[in-house]
A and B are shown apart, each in its own frame.
Chain A
Amino acid sequence: MALGGMAAGMILFIVSVGLSVTMGLMGFVNLAHGAFAMVGGYVIVHAMKSWGLPFVPALATGCLIIAAASIVLERLLYTRLYRAPELDQVLFTIGLVFITIAAVTVLVGPENQPLTLPSWLQGQVDLGFTTYRTYSIALIVVGSALALGLWLGFERTRLGAQIRATVDNRRMAEAVGINIDRLFTLTFAVGSGIAALGGGLGAEFLGLDPQYPLKYLVYFLIVVAVGGLGRIAGVFCAALLIGVLDFVLKKYLPQGGTLFIYALTILLLLWRPQGLFGKAS
């Protein structure tokens, strides 16, 4: 049962990690991040149903299309608001969410879009002490691999170092000659692409309907705020924590589960406003 929570947590991680990095890097409150995940999910479902792509190529297609679209949005619109007050960023991104929800409702319809998993992901896996859903195991593997890959990328590559430097001190990074514009665009594209992956992979857990970006906005924000902006390990732990907590609470405390999570988040943020792993300002 804890494994089920871990799988849900992995989905939260995959969707939210992009948000954490872009918020930490660009200081931009992107409340539309869930919309990227949702549209990615829809593209993946469409690729499987209408273009007949198998599961993994469909995932890749979804990621690439969303990443490309996010580059366009970032260069055209997001850049204009990087130095804008927080309120403007909130308004802009909520506006994007509304536009996306309306567009998806018109183009696809208001119902939930089911995603049929390929046969090799269906069924159970015998772990020796218990059998478990292959899909959940796969999610845990993919999520962990992604976390490890991202963490290594951050710590061991030059690009990762540049991102970390810019997160810590943007002016200094600019002074040292790092191309901030290109860094932002690249990070935004990667973050949105990974979110699209989460949207598609998580369709069974989180569903795929037009209300997705608003339904789960608070969860994504909690994961990011609790984990600490721009901290891969932080987002990973926070996502797992929220995922497992939510699963467990739904079983034992179906009435007060979400309330408990909100209360816990408030207490945590009051004790450590920068999140579990964030840097204190």
Chain B
Amino acid sequence: MKKVLIVARPEGASGLTWANKINLETGFKSLAEDVNEVAKAVREMGFTPITFTPEAAFHIYNWLHVPYLDKDIKQISAKDVYQQISDIYAVVLVGMTAKAGTLNAFMDSTYNLVAWHDYYLNGQLMGEIGMYKNYFANFNVPIIFASGDVAACAEAEKELVGIKTVAVKKAKNRSVASYIQGSKEKLYSVCLEALKNPIKVSEKPTFPLTKKIVLNRTEFCADSVRWFPDGVNRIDGRTIEYELNELKYFTDLV
């Protein structure tokens, strides 16, 4: 049976309206509820829901929603995603945030809330949604649905033309948002619609793929260089660049 991969991030969960509550039960329970809603639609269309939450800042908290997921939703790793990619019919993004530096966005960030200032792939500035777009396009898997705050949905609609989105909250500022009444209930219906009429897969990225990360401080950059494999090029005090000749795991992009 074909699978639908639900990429889940806590920052954009419907019930997380205060940034400082991200590590509390409110945040991760809410994310699980959003994933469960979307999974209903996935099951109805005859697919198996699986979920992936990438590691990032505060990564130890990123999986605390797993015990609250429906029992049949399996949490998989980046390695599993690659190994199962041919079984994945489509990807849905739940709990997304707009890219770092977006005005009127809740917890705007690109992958890492603290350390990353900007992220480029082949010279194009993008956020996490753009990273997913490039990654899954490489394997011919379409991203058909996204949820998050208003700014994240607007970014998703710009990156993936025709994608169905549900804005679950609206930012008052980076740290506070207000929940949009009735949006949680729409997660199921809009995702169902997206599965019935999926958009085409995006254009594949061209290789070699050059990823460039601008970090907020030089010490973050120096620390990153320690952990990256050979071949990372430090452009300046806060910028590193790395060339990829192929894409396997999502973590290759970070």
Partners in one complex: no
